[in-house]
A and B are shown apart, each in its own frame.
Chain A
């Protein structure tokens, strides 16, 4: 119950901060980019993947979505934590009769909820784009859900780290640079070892089982989240 109230508070704090347009830009932006990609070389791409047009589009979508997902996590985490940093109001927030654990939890749930919304926009946009490109009505829903939501689970550790850094450091240049670096590293994801978290959102591994990075992401992400909230509880705020 308290968490719901806190979420409502957090929602008020991010009003008029252009976070929703940003989420839409992330979710539909990837779709637009893919649309441009197809518009520029429709015939070539259709000939190349005549046997499995949907599967190919989904895998390209996934490839474009991963860097946007990581950059998005960094930016949204910084904006959510930045509300208190910018107005020097950590003391005010924490002076309220709330446990620090739940304040941190609300921020984390908000971050993940916003990214979940972006992933949903991506999924819906992908279906619409596919239909517009006349890839057929034989939509592979399992694959669609896998490409849309499993990367988010696999990126949970990245989100937890970004939120931790953004909350604990006043200078947002540091968490955002970490996010920029992570984005670039993730583009080389395929060459990294299976144990590197920045590879997990690609869902590619030696066992060829996309559920493994997602499960790993969920576990490690929750561990980092717990570590972050313990640190937040003990931290001195300015």
Chain B
């Protein structure tokens, strides 16, 4: 398993996809810097996380999860690489897990850069409120974990489709309605593209659409069940797929 991950790392060590982890934090910092603080009296850092996080988790993270999944499959699709890779003494299951773990690691790195960007913007704006680390880390790690169903879904589509743009098109088609579906407490928790933003902002919003006030247990169980389901189906498909 470790060898699979290391070979993945060698493949994209010098590719531009590593730069993609800076894309969302950079854009969100810009939004954070431009947005004027409202004096509603909440913790300044929470307000900032809300301003920056809504763009990050509602649109950019789901879209980037798709870009990352398509990217880790690109080399294999391009040069007949699947045959080469699968001729090596590794199981197909391990290859699939390795690719999925790579996507999750890229997303984790994005979260880390986002945290850095958040702290930087707050420092530039001269915030004096204490940082509430447990809440902040919960938002960042929670929304990362909430990407897992979505990432495994995208992984399956990316493996199945040789075209780079097709999985992304699917992803975009389902991500854009996020903005409307997030308002619905009945459907939002079951919509994989909405789960990251629901978890990220669950603690920050006192007033907001009801969907953000769901019990964490419901959300967690939906996320874990759908993750296991999508991942197992994707992996089974990959193990049987004729290359």
Which residues does A use to contact B, with CB under 8 Å?
17-18, 22, 25-26, 29, 33, 36-37, 40, 64, 67-68, 71, 75, 78-79, 82, 86, 171-174, 176-177, 180-181, 183-185, 187-188, 191
Q: In the complex the two chains form, is B163's CB within 8 Å of A79's CB?
A: yes
A71-B176 contact, Cβ under 8 Å, with A184-B59, A185-B27? yes
* Complex: A187 Cα to B63 Cα, angstroms: 15
Could you say which residues of chain A place their CB within 8 Å of the CB of B176? 33, 64, 67-68, 71, 183
In the bound complex, residues from chain B placing their C-beta under 8 Å from that of A71 are 172, 176
Instruction: Check B16 against A171 for contact (C-beta < 8 Å).
Output: yes
B90 CB, min distance to chain A CBs, angstroms: 25
**B137 within 8 Å of A by Cβ?**
no
**Dominant secondary structure at the B interface:** helix
Is A173 touching B20 in the complex (CB atoms < 8 A)? yes
Contact of A184 among B27, B165, B166 (CB under 8 A): B27
Binding-face segment, B66-74, B96-104, B196-204: B66-74
Cβ contacts under 8 Å, A68 to chain B: 176
Q: Is the CB of A180 within 8 A of B67?
A: yes
- 25 A-B pairs with CB atoms under 8 Å apart are A17-B163, A25-B173, A26-B173, A29-B173, A33-B180, A40-B184, A71-B172, A75-B168, A75-B172, A78-B164, A78-B168, A86-B77, A172-B74, A173-B20, A173-B67, A174-B16, A177-B23, A177-B64, A180-B60, A180-B63, A180-B64, A180-B67, A181-B23, A183-B63, A185-B27
Other-chain residue from A26, A29, A33, A79 in contact with B165 (beta carbon distance below 8 A): A79
Cα(A181)–Cα(B224), bound, Å: 29
